């Protein structure tokens, strides 16, 4: 059968993307969509999760004719093991990022860096008190030392519970305890996942799935949560501000630098360096009007939340941003950075700079960022970008759009601030049915979908139904480009949400940060549950990742479900080769943890089903539907 080749319009809903896809074709640049065509159809064994490569008696692939691997493992065991390793990878990504944050905090605490400092001292002290660390009358850096040590202990094997376990409602902790799902330590759960999935260990699929959940809970309630809290402490807790989004944030007359990756430790320094008057003067001396910084993906979210740096695009826009021909340099840390960016950059004058030893790219220049050289390295990178400006081929530059305004910065602290210091007004609005519930739409782009079609339409459908939407990660850019992150978007919301958001002056879709910042949503859910004296699973909440692609997104979905938040995915992970695992994910988990996964590629149908769930939860709480 001939392969169906998608038209440009079928690839993305956005005009900026479509123009750049056309330009990419003209310029002879290959993109993720082209490579998806080459890779399709995908391997059925891989797709359904029944290919095992865990030892060299195999690889084994399960079929009707060969239902067992050489060792005797069946499809259920193989699927569960593959899923376990998949989410262990995602949890490792978030949590290792968290570890880098702890190391940064420790360096600051010990006075070993001049480039970083504690920006939100009040938050540092608040968390110290929350975790029972001595705080009163002590110097800030002394408290920081203890907090860093406390956080490090979450990665080891000596704890029975994570530091932030106290944030989890009692009912939820009991559920975890009874299921053997209580996360003990980040590295421990990840290492144990690798152990369990070695040949000849955990050969009970359901048992492996329980540990998968435990591994992801360690990510959500420790690795990611620690990353978020420390980033706030070091770089400031986000507060509402306005910024702009789409490829139109690139500036034709300026040196354009893009930051891409996840950890603000690099991008925050770049953000400072681009404002250095000496470097701006240098740029002007080279004929540019100035230096322009914009973000991509999650490090873009981090910078946007805290500094209001504009967002050029999400995951599938990263190649297309370079296709504008206007980007001098792209500086990356880690995660979600397509190796193809080096190649695309080489088609133009765009230089790619890597900064982390654990994420090097062949063909990119490596400028290693460390805690004691952040500013020096950032200045070096900015100078490289300025030097590149002269090599720009002006005839090949095309910046395709006018930027769209958006509001960002809704940390829980900001949300509480907007509510006047307590959750009561929100709870009252929920009880009155003006805000019927809340849904976190998170995660990625995936070229298997028309880019952002599901992300945007799901958000639109939910706010119509008076369901507040919270966004993080790459969905942020989608919602922002659709104009949903502006207070005016309440016109598209139901009357209840319109009234509440209108009174508060906030959009009906709130940007809560990067992917590690989904921890903010966990914390908010727990606060609401505790306030109402119920479990998280009793709340009219849901999660969704319509266009997800990454191991990290699967880890997020899993810790959401294990935390009691029903979670929608546009497509299943590679588990469909096991009926047992699939049934557990779609249904069985409900009995165990009070929430499960819901798979639905159509955003309109997904909204319907999420709404049903919220309706049910509301009725159970004795509220109107």
In this structure, the strands spanning 60-61 and 291-296 are unpaired
Nearest approach in angstroms of CB 591 to ligand XCC is 30
**Interface with ligand XCC (CB under 6 A), residue from 552, 566, 613, 618:** 552
Helix, strand or coil, per DSSP, at residue 419: coil
Name which of 439 and 614 has its Cβ closer to ligand XCC.
Answer: 439
Q: Does 194 bind ligand SF4 (CB under 6 A)?
A: no
Name the binder of 210 from ligand XCC, ligand SF4, none, CB < 5-8 A by kind. Answer: none
By the 8 A CB rule, do 295 and 403 touch?
Answer: no
Smallest CA-to-CA distance from 165 within 564, 523, 591, 533 is with 523
Give the pairing type, strands 365-366 and 311-313.
unpaired
Query: Phi and psi for 332 in degrees, rounded to 5?
Result: -125, 155
> In DSSP terms, which residues pair with 600 in a beta bridge?
none
CB nearer to ligand SF4: pick between 53 and 366: 53
- Is the Cβ of residue 55 or residue 586 nearer to ligand SF4 in the bound state? 55
Phi-psi region at 236: left, alpha or beta (left = phi > 0; alpha = psi -120 to 50): left
Q: Report, in Å, the least distance between residue 196 CB and ligand SF4.
A: 12
Answer yes or no whether residue 217 interacts with ligand SF4 by CB under 6 A.
no
For residue 225, what are its two tokens?
A: 């949560």
| Binder among 451, 455, 550, 567 for ligand XCC (CB under 6 A) | 550
Q: Does 289 sit near ligand SF4 (CB under 6 A)? A: no
**Helix 224-235 × helix 297-307 angle, to 10°:** 40
Residue 620 φ then ψ, to 5°: -60, -30
DSSP H/E element including 118: none
Which of ligand XCC, ligand SF4, none does residue 55 bind to, with CB < 5 to 8 Å depending on kind? Answer: ligand SF4
How far CA 502 is from CA of 66, 413, 490, 497, 549, in Å, comes to 61, 19, 7, 8, 35
Out of 94, 306, 315, 568, name the contact with ligand XCC by CB under 6 A: 315
Cβ proximity to ligand XCC, 115 vs 302, nearer residue: 302
Joined together, the tokens standing for residue 621 give 């709480």
Options 13, 165, 175, 474; binder of ligand XCC; rule CB under 6 A: 474
Residue 220 touches which member of ligand SF4, ligand XCC, none, C-beta under 5-8 Å by kind: none
Residue 55 as a binder of ligand SF4 (CB under 6 A): the answer is yes
Q: Is 199 in the site for ligand SF4 (CB under 6 A)?
A: yes
298 binds ligand XCC (CB under 6 A): yes
* Site pattern 64..103 for ligand SF4 (x: CB under 6 A): -----xxx-x----x-------------------------
Strands (E), 297-363: 311-313, 329-332, 351-354
Q: Is 58 in the site for ligand SF4 (CB under 6 A)?
A: yes
**Cβ closer to ligand SF4: 68 or 122?**
68
Pick out residues in 123-152 that bind ligand XCC (CB under 6 A): none
Q: Where are the alpha helices (DSSP H) in 219-310?
A: 224-235, 264-273, 277-285, 297-307
Contact 493, 508 (CB under 8 A): yes
**CA–CA separation, 304 and 596 (whole Å):** 32
223 binds ligand XCC (CB under 6 A): no
Q: Quote the CA–CA distance of 5 and 460 in Å, as a whole number.
A: 29
* 3-class SS string, 82-115: HHHHHHHHHHHHHHHHHHHHHHHHHHHHCCCCCC
Contact flags string 341-380 toward ligand XCC, x per CB under 6 A? ----------------------------------------
Q: In the structure encoding, which two tokens stand for residue 453, read together?
A: 């079609």
As measured in angstroms, the least distance from the Cβ of 35 to ligand XCC is 16
Q: Give the footprint of ligand SF4 on this chain (CB under 6 A).
A: 52-55, 57-60, 69-71, 73, 78, 199
Q: Give the footprint of ligand XCC on this chain (CB under 6 A).
A: 262, 297-298, 314-315, 336, 443-444, 473-474, 515, 550, 552-553
């Amino acid at each position: 059968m001939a392969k169906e080749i998608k038209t440009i319009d079928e690839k993305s809903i956005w005009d900026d993307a479509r123009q750049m896809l056309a330009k990419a074709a003209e310029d002879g640049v290959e993109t993720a969509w082209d490579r998806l065509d080459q890779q399709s159809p995908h391997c059925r064994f891989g797709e359904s999760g029944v290919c095992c490569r865990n030892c060299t008696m195999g690889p084994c692939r399960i079929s009707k004719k060969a239902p067992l691997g050489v060792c005797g493992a069946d499809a259920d065991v193989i699927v569960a093991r593959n899923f376990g390793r998949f989410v262990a990878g995602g949890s490792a990504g978030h949590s290792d990022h968290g570890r880098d944050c702890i190391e940064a905090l420790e360096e600051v605490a010990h006075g070993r860096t001049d480039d970083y400092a504690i920006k939100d001292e009040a938050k540092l002290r608040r968390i110290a008190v929350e975790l029972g660390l001595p705080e009163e009358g002590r110097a800030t850096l002394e408290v920081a030392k203890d907090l860093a040590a406390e956080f490090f202990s979450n990665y080891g094997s000596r704890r029975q519970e994570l530091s932030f376990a106290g944030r989890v409602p009692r009912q939820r902790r009991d559920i975890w305890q009874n299921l053997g799902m209580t996360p003990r330590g980040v590295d421990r759960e990840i290492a144990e996942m690798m152990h369990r999935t070695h040949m000849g260990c955990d050969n009970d699929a359901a048992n492996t799935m329980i540990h998968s959940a435990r591994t992801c809970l360690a990510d959500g309630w420790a690795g990611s949560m620690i990353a978020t809290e420390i980033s706030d402490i070091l770089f400031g807790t986000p507060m509402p501000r306005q910024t702009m989004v789409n490829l139109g944030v690139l500036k034709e007359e300026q040196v354009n630098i893009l930051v891409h990756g996840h950890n603000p430790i690099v991008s925050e320094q770049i953000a400072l360096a681009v404002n250095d008057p000496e470097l701006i003067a240098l740029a002007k001396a080279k004929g540019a009007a100035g230096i322009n910084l914009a973000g991509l993906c999650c490090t873009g979210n981090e910078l946007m939340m805290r500094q209001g740096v504009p967002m050029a695009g999400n995951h599938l826009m990263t190649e297309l941003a370079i296709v504008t021909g206007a980007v001098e340099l792209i500086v990356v840390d880690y995660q979600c950075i397509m190796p193809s960016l080096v190649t695309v950059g080489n088609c133009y004058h765009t230089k790619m700079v890597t900064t982390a030893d654990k994420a090097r790219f062949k063909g990119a220049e490596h400028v290693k960022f460390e805690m004691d050289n952040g500013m020096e390295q950032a200045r070096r990178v900015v100078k490289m970008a300025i030097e590149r400006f002269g090599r720009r081929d002006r005839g090949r530059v095309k910046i395709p759009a006018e930027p769209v305004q958006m509001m960002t910065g809704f940390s829980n602290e900001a949300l509480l601030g907007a509510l006047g210091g307590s959750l009561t007004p929100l709870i009252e609005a929920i009880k009155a049915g003006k805000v019927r519930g809340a849904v976190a739409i998170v995660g990625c782009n995936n070229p298997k979908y028309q880019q952002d079609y599901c992300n945007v339409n799901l958000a639109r459908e939910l706010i119509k139904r008076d369901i507040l939407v919270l966004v993080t990660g790459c969905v942020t850019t989608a919602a922002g480009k659709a104009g949903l992150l502006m207070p005016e978007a309440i016109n598209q919301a139901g009357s209840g949400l319109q009234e509440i958001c209108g009174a508060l002056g906030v959009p009906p879709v709130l940007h809560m940060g990067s992917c590690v910042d989904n921890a903010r949503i966990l914390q908010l859910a727990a606060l609401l549950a505790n306030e109402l004296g119920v479990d998280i699973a009793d709340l009219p909440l849901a999660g969704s990742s319509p266009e997800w692609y990454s191991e990290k997104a699967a880890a997020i979905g899993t810790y959401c479900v294990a935390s009691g938040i029903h979670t929608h995915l546009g497509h299943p992970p590679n588990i469909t080769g096991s009926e047992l695992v699939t049934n557990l994910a779609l249904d069985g988990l409900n009995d165990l943890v009070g929430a499960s996964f819901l798979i639905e590629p159509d955003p309109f149908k997904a909204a319907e089903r999420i709404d049903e769930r919220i309706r049910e939860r509301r009725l159970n709480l004795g509220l109107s539907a």
